[in-house]
Amino acid sequence: MTDLDLIDIEASGLHVTSYPVEVAVRVRGNVFSWLIKPEPHWTHWDPVAESLHHLSRERLQQEGLAAVEVAAALNRVLSGSERVVYSDAAAWDDNWMLTLYEATGIDRQWRVLPIERLLSEAARRRFEQALAERQREHPELRHRAENDIADILAAFRAALKSRRA
Q: Rounded CA gap, 14 and 27, in Å?
A: 26
CATH number, domain at 22?
Answer: 3.30.420.10
Q: According to the model, what pLDDT value does residue 144 have?
A: 83
Tell me which residue range forms the domain holding 11. 6-118
Query: Up-side HSE of residue 46: CA atoms within 13 Å toward CB?
Result: 16
- Backbone φ, ψ for residue 73 (5° rounding): -65, -40
Q: How confident is the model at residue 165 (pLDDT cuts 50, 70, 90)?
A: very low
Would you say residue 164 lies in a domain?
no
How would you class 113 by CB atoms within 10 Å of its CB: exposed for 0-12, middle for 13-18, buried for 19 or more?
Answer: middle
Q: Is 85 part of any domain?
A: yes
More confident residue, 3 or 136: 136
- Give the confidence band of 142 by pLDDT, cuts at 50, 70, 90: low
Q: What is the pTM of this model?
A: 0.91
Q: What is the pLDDT of residue 135?
A: 82
Does 145 fall in a domain?
no
The answer as to whether 137 is a domain residue is: no
- Is 105 a domain residue? yes
How many domains, the chain?
Answer: 1
Residue 98 lies in a domain: yes
Give me the mean pLDDT over the 104-122 stretch: 95
Q: Name the CA dihedral angle for 95, 67, 81, 26, rounded to a multiple of 10 degrees.
A: -80
Evaluate whether residue 149 is within a structural domain.
no
Has residue 72 been placed in a domain?
Answer: yes
Q: Distance between CA 103 and CA 44 in Å, rounded?
A: 15
Single-letter code of the amino acid located at 55? L
